[in-house]
Amino acid sequence: MSLGGQQVWDVAVIGGGAAGMMAAGRAAEGGARVILLEKNPGLGKKLLITGGGRCNVTNAEFDTKTLLSKYGDAGKYLSSPFAAWSSKDAIGFFESRGMPTKIENEKRAFPVSDTAQSVHNVLTSYMKEGGVTVHTKSPVSGFIREGNSIVSAKLKDGTLIDARSFILATGGKSRPETGSTGDGFVWLQELGHTVSSATAALVPISVHDAWVKRAAGVSLKDAKITLFQYEKKVKSVRGKVLITHEGLSGPAILNASREIGEFLQYGDLVIDLDLFPDLGYEKVNTRLQEIFNENATKMLKNSLKGFLQPVLIPVVLQLALIDAQKTCNAVSRDERVRLMKLVKHVPLSVKGLLGLDKAIITSGGVSLDEVDTRYMQSRLISNLYLVGDVLDVNRPSGGYSLQLCWTTGRIAGESAYTAGT
C-alpha cells in the first residue's frame, strides 16, 4: 500500500525535528517530491524547547576551522559539509526568511524574537514553499531493504512508503517525551551500521545538598566551579550556572558533564562554587564591610540584596551559620569572614549525572567512519542519508547541536534529491 497516491517518492525523510525539516525543505527546493514522516502530532517538539524556549539557533563562529574544533574528533569528518554550509550560511538562511538574529555571549545566536517558534516557522514555511508532503502521527517501524539499498519505510500500521532516497532524522535518545526514543539506532544496527550506545551527554548534575531546592531557579551569570576528588583539584570551569531542584545545570555544567561522569567512575566529587570569581577575598570583605556600615541597624537578611540574589540570601546565611535576623552591626568579625569565605567556596557534593530524560544531547550514535560526510550518505546503504542527532558527534552547548542539524540536513537534502530525481 502506498501513501498519498504517489507510488514512489523521490525522497522520504523520517523524523520531523530540526535536521529532518531542513533536509526535507532543501530536497524539495531542489525539485524533489518529498514526503516527511513524523510520529508526533506536530513537528519539531524538541526544537521548540531549545535554549529554554528561545532557541540558541547556531554559534556565530564564522571561522570554520574554529567552529569545527568544537566537534572534537568528529571535526575532521565534518570539514567537507561545513566548508559547504556553515554557521554564517545558517544565519543568512534564517535572516533572509524574515527571522533576524542577535548574538549573545560566547557567540550564541538567537532569534531577535527570543522564541524558538520563529525558527520553527521558518522551517515549516521553507518546506511548504517546496511542496513537502508532511505526514504527522505516522510512526515508522523500520525499513524494507533490497540488496544494499532501501526500497520502503514501513509505518507501524503496515503502510509502505516507497522512495528512491531516505533521510534518517529520528534524533538521539535525550528527552524521549519529545519523540527522540532512539528508534533510528535500532534500524541502523539492523542495516549493519555500528551504533555506539547512547548515553546522556550535556546533562545537568544532581547533588546531595538539600539546600539547592530552596535556591532552584537561581541563575548565576558568571560563577566558577572547581571540582575536587580525593581532595585534589581535578577540573575548573567558569560561566553561567543554574541552580535546579536537583543540583546544577547551565552551560558551564553541561559542558563539563561528560568529564564529571568520567571522574565519578573513580570516586566521589566535591564542588567548590565561587559566586564572585572576579573578586578576591579582600574585595569581598571590603564590600561586606561597606554593606554592614551602610545598613548598621537593618536586619542582615534585608541588607544583602544588592550583593546576593534574594533567594540565595537565607541559604547562604544558613550555610555560613549566621542568624539572618540579626542586625548588621551585630555581625561579628568571625561571622563576616565566614560569610566572605562561603560566597567564594560554596560546597556541594555531586550525587551523579541526570539521565537521558534530562540530557540536552546523547553521546553515541552512528560512527562517522560509516558515513560519507561529503553527502551525509551511509557507506553501507547506498540510498540512505543520516543527519542530526543520529550521528555520533560530541559537541558543547552553544548552538553547535543545531548547527550540526542545519549543515547535515542541508547536505543530505541536496545529495538525496540529486540521487533521487
Ligand X SMILES: Cc1cc2nc3c(=O)[nH]c(=O)nc-3n(C[C@H](O)[C@H](O)[C@H](O)COP(=O)(O)OP(=O)(O)OC[C@H]3O[C@@H](n4cnc5c(N)ncnc54)[C@H](O)[C@@H]3O)c2cc1C
Footprint of ligand X on this chain (CB under 6 A)?
14-20, 37-40, 45-47, 49-51, 55-56, 139-140, 169-171, 174-175, 179-181, 183, 360-361, 388-389, 399-402, 405
Cα–chain center distance at 6: 37
Nearer to ligand X, 40 or 303 (CB): 40
Nearer to ligand X, 37 or 304 (CB): 37
CB of 110 to ligand X, least distance (A): 8
CB of 359 to ligand X, least distance (A): 7
Q: 240 with 252: CB under 8 angstroms?
A: yes
CB of 66 to ligand X, least distance (A): 17
With cell 539506532, the residue in question is 185
Q: How far apart are CA 104 and CA 121, in angstroms?
A: 22
Nearer to ligand X, 41 or 267 (CB): 41
What's the sign of the alpha-carbon dihedral 40, 134, 29, 116?
negative
For residue 357, what are the CA distances in angstroms to 42, 177, 216, 323, 387?
20, 8, 19, 39, 22
Nearer to ligand X, 21 or 269 (CB): 21
CB of 167 to ligand X, least distance (A): 10
The three three-digit cell numbers of residue 357, written as one number: 530524560
Cα–chain center distance at 259: 16
CB of 309 to ligand X, least distance (A): 23
Amino acid at position 368, single letter: L
Residue 173 DSSP label:
S
Nearer to ligand X, 360 or 366 (CB): 360
CB of 115 to ligand X, least distance (A): 12
Q: How far apart are CA 42 and CA 238, in angstroms?
A: 38
Nearer to ligand X, 103 or 234 (CB): 103
The three three-digit cell numbers of residue 252, written as one number: 558551564
Q: 370 with 29: CB under 8 angstroms?
A: no
Nearer to ligand X, 17 or 25 (CB): 17
CB of 181 to ligand X, least distance (A): 6
Q: How far apart are CA 276 and CA 286, in angstroms?
A: 13
Nearer to ligand X, 53 or 310 (CB): 53
DSSP letters for 208-220: S-TTHHHHTT-EE
The three three-digit cell numbers of residue 179, written as one number: 519523540
CB of 216 to ligand X, least distance (A): 17
